[in-house]
Structure 1
């Protein structure tokens, strides 16, 4: 049984669960979706998603879910399955004990449970500094981070400055 994914009344931080609209968009087991998805609702992925995903609510990747994203931006992200790509969360990213994330994370809070696998880079930033609309691509973001590090600038300062533009 997974906690924090589904219809619980508390989120992964133990605080009150903030649903976006009371609805949950489901990509069910055995389903595959490709392209760009924008949602005002929470999203649960038990099947496969390939593309870019933008949600004002929570995105939860279930234990059987697989996500290959150029860009995933949401309020909160919970990963109990597999996710590859760039993830940006205004609130938190939580990788559960069954979760695997390969890629980059920009978030206010990062939680990695024992047994989880995270391979990549993470940047912690103030939630107000993040924008949850489609913006720069993951490759532009990675190039900006690499250039700022090579120039001796703190990565957070570079990311915050770029997001303010």
Structure 2
């Protein structure tokens, strides 16, 4: 039987924030990450990051590839390909090697197309910096309960 996918993903190796879940802080994973809830902070992955259509992100994402359907305020640093899907809203700066934009995707900000070797320099500077949106969140994460919100404000756009 022929293999239909280049690389299969073990579901146990995908970190996930489900719909209705809200988190603050920093996620650092060697594996793929999927966000369907709300996240405020920094996401660092050596794999693919998938932002679902119900996701609301505030902060930075540093990874190899991104498939983006949700809403975000912040910067994306992508080693290879960023795919902005129909219905997504991104307010911030993009630093990518390759960019795919579907009809209906919304982006407001600056886009820097990276050359070979530039990702390590740019992403390294961002990784070393403290999380811009979530300063102190890691230390308070253990004491604050996880909560869900039905409304969020994203750069003047009200989400329900």
Q: Above 0.5 in TM-score?
A: yes
Gaps in structure 1 of 5+ consecutive residues: 1-8, 11-15, 140-165
2:64 and 2:91 map into 1 onto residues whose CA distance is 19
- Per-residue CA deviation, residues 86-105 of structure 1 (Å, 9 max, x unaligned), is 11000011110021111000
Matched residue, 2:22: 32
Give the CA RMSD over aligned residues. Answer: 2.4
Matched residue, 2:52: 62
- Per-residue CA deviation, residues 41-71 of structure 1 (Å, 9 max, x unaligned), is 10000000100111100111001111101x2
Cα distance, 1:128 vs structure 2: 2.7
Matched ranges for 1:27-106 at <5 A = 27-69=17-59, 71-106=60-95
Cα distance, 1:135 vs structure 2: 3.2
2:45 and 2:10 map into 1 onto residues whose CA distance is 9
2:130 and 2:101 map into 1 onto residues whose CA distance is 25
Gaps in structure 2 of 5+ consecutive residues: 133-160
Cα distance change of structure 1 residues 51 and 109 upon mapping to structure 2, 3 Å threshold: same
On the 8 A contact 2:77/2:94 being kept in 1, the answer is yes
Higher RCO (C-alpha 8 Å, min separation 6): 2
Calculate the TM-score normalised by the size of structure 2.
0.70
